[in-house]
Amino acid sequence: MTYQVLARKWRPRDFESLVGQQHVVRALTHALGSGRLHHAYLLTGTRGVGKTTIARILAKALNCETGPTATPCGRCSACTGIDGGRFVDYIEMDAASNRGVDEMTQLLENAIYAPTSGRYKVYVIDEVHMLSTHAFNAMLKTLEEPPAHVIFVLATTDPQKVPVTVLSRCLQFNLKNMTPSAIAEHLAHVLRSEGIDFEPTALPPIGRAAGGSMRDALSLLDQAIAFGGGGVAAAAVRDMLGVVDQGWITSILDALASGEGPALIGLADPMQLAGAPFERVLDELALRLHRVALAQAGVLADDEWRDEVARHASLFAPEDVQVFYQIVIHGARDLALAPDPQAGFSMVLLRLLAFRPDATGRGALAESTSAPAPAVQRPALRSQMVSSGSRAPAVPPSAMGPSGPRPTEPVVPASPESRPLVPVAPTSSGPRSSSTPGAASPGLSEPQVGRAPPVPAPDFDGDWPALARRLGLGGFAGQFMGQSELLGREGDVFQVRVPIRPLAEVGTVNKVREALSAHFGRPVRLTVEVGAVAGVTAVREAQREQGEQLEQAREALEADPFVRSLVSGLDGRIVPGSVTPVRDDQ
């Protein structure tokens, strides 16, 4: 006896056995029960979600000897004929190979004749988006007002290519992709019915690999049965699909939690020997981090890795998990650019270590693999007002907390205690009292040279955005001036706030301070904090001015007599977004 593949053997024969499309089943069942049938249906969805299956079930429901009914018997000549592909009043046409106007004209000419043996002629046009423009135009009139005995069922995987004139004549149903859990549950039912031994943990990987398609899942199940010699085991399915062993993922997160750099990097070698695909390893790591983040939010799935996910959720801070997730998905994207996959994967692991600050503000990799860096000697007259402790490393914007920047954390602490401001010393040789706010630490004190205290800058009117435009700085210094707001000023000491931590780096702050000193002709000081910027900035001023100019240009264009004559006389209109203000020099 010829073997029939599972995808054909287990194709649903009625609405009750259809999996995962309850919204379509409900609508069609009610329509059949009440007799409110539409003459044209459009079924959309990816491959293997049940478009053709629903069309066949609908044809059986319309032509069953006990119907029309939502529960066809499956035993009459109409039901068996449609299942066997020999019912003359059920016509399936593949638009990919019959896309011309001649084939469509022939189909429509035959549609006017009464059914031969059933109540309705059901025309199923698969991949209808492949029809030519002339073929679509030829069917429009018949599709709008077909004979009473004709039902059209159109199916497509790309509804965007179907003309709007066709869409407006059809009742449209969007079929959903199957969830991995629903696929695994159905596969278990199939295996139990077939009497095949299986391990429950072997089915979820097949459900994920199917990509929402039940037909693909059944085909993979056939392959797994053959690969496993008549049974379905989890290890065999992993080997067949190339699925990553979840033990590797647990080992990576354990080493990352303990901050053990050599142990973490050392995982790459045995993974390569085991043939683990590094791109899939990163995908699985991203999925595990997603589940850890969900667990930290109170959503914990009940599966075999529940305990591991809960344990890792307690070991990592939520903001660290978000940073890890971004690093992993970007690393998977850039893996093809690496010299070889193992090198790219190792660099992702290194980034996971480097961008996780510990309690001292240093990366875990630096703590575990290197000695403290020696202090950098700086000129006495341009010393940096920092404490003798180590400086916090730069953290990219993606490493900020989930609710935005954390203004309570200092960018560069001025003392062992945490301070919200970052003082930077001016280029000055003047004396300083130890009681002066922001004074340098004893280890970095400046020479005591007698000079008068700085005088207030009389030429500054408090307009920080205007000052930013006058300075005309570029790079990070320009971004600093453009995105910062002035919090206060005492003499030549300016207190400002920036929205992100990289703008508060010492090098950037020093460049801004030097530009301000050169502008005012005397040394100035800056104290910088990181936090939400709510005041007026140069960037916001520029955006406001640009918006006003655009609005003036639009109003001037609408008021122009020539333009008004075009709009009123020729039924024209001004395309939104096409108006651009022109400067005088243009």
CB-based burial of residue 559 (10 Å sphere; 0-12 exposed, 13-18 middle, 19+ buried)? exposed
What pLDDT, in 10s, does the model give residues 294-323? Answer: 988 888 776 677 888 888 888 888 888 999
Look at residue 211 and tell me if it is in a domain: yes
Q: Under a CB-based contact definition with an 8 Å cutoff, are residues 422 and 412 in contact?
A: yes
- Determine which of 25-29, 257-261, 292-296 has the lowest per-residue pLDDT on average: 257-261
Tell whether pTM > 0.85: no
The pLDDT of residue 246: 81
Give me the DSSP letters along 23-68: HHHHHHHHHHHHT---SEEEEE-STTSSHHHHHHHHHHHHH-TT-S
Structure tokens at 229: 């010699």
CA–CA distance, 409 with 361 (Å, rounded to integer): 11
The answer to whether residue 394 is domain-embedded is: no
Domain region containing 184: 180-241
- Whether residues 315 and 209 share a domain: the answer is no
270-293: average pLDDT: 86
- Main-chain phi, psi angles of 142, to 5 degrees: -65, -35
- Min mean pLDDT across 74-83, 245-254, 526-535, 560-569 is at 560-569
The answer to the question of residue 101 being in a domain is yes
Q: What residue ranges in 411-510 does DSSP mark as E strands?
A: 422-424, 485-490, 493-498
Residues 351, 269 within the same domain: yes
Indicate whether 39 and 65 sit together in one domain.
yes
Are 77 and 15 part of one and the same domain? Answer: yes
* pLDDT per residue as tens digits for the range 367-383: 444 444 343 333 333 33
Q: What is the tens place of the pLDDT at every residue in 67-95?
A: 789 999 888 999 999 988 889 999 999 88
Chain-centre distance of CA 313, in angstroms? Answer: 22
- 383 found inside a domain: no
Asked if residue 197 and residue 113 are part of one domain, the reply reads no
Report if residue 71 sits inside a domain: yes
Residue 517 included in any domain: no
Q: Say what the pLDDT of residue 521 is.
A: 87
Q: Are residues 184 and 163 in the same domain?
A: no
> For the chain, what percent of residues have pLDDT higher than 70?
80
pLDDT at 411: 38
SS3 (DSSP) at 15: helix
Count of domains in the chain? 3
pLDDT digit string (tens) for 332-378? 998 888 888 889 999 999 889 887 644 444 444 444 444 443 433 33
Same domain, yes or no: 42 and 126: yes
- CA dist 543 and 547 (Å) reads 6
pLDDT score for 400: 42
Shared-domain flag, residues 17 and 151: yes
Claim to verify: residue 76 and residue 149 sit in the same structural domain:
yes
User: Measured between alpha carbons, how far apart are the two ends of the chain, in Å?
Assistant: 83
Mean pLDDT rounded to a whole number for the chain: 79
Residue 541 lies in a domain: no
Same domain, 198 and 152: no
Which of 150, 174, 198 is the last residue before a domain boundary? Answer: 174
CATH number at residue 224: 1.10.8.60
- Top-confidence range, 267-271, 282-286, 298-302: 282-286
- Whether the predicted pLDDT of 453 surpasses 50: no
Among 337, 365, 393, residue at a domain's last position: 365
Label the pairing between strands 171-174 and 40-44.
Answer: parallel
Report if residue 549 sits inside a domain. Answer: no
- CA-CA distance, 21 to 108, in Å (whole number)? 31
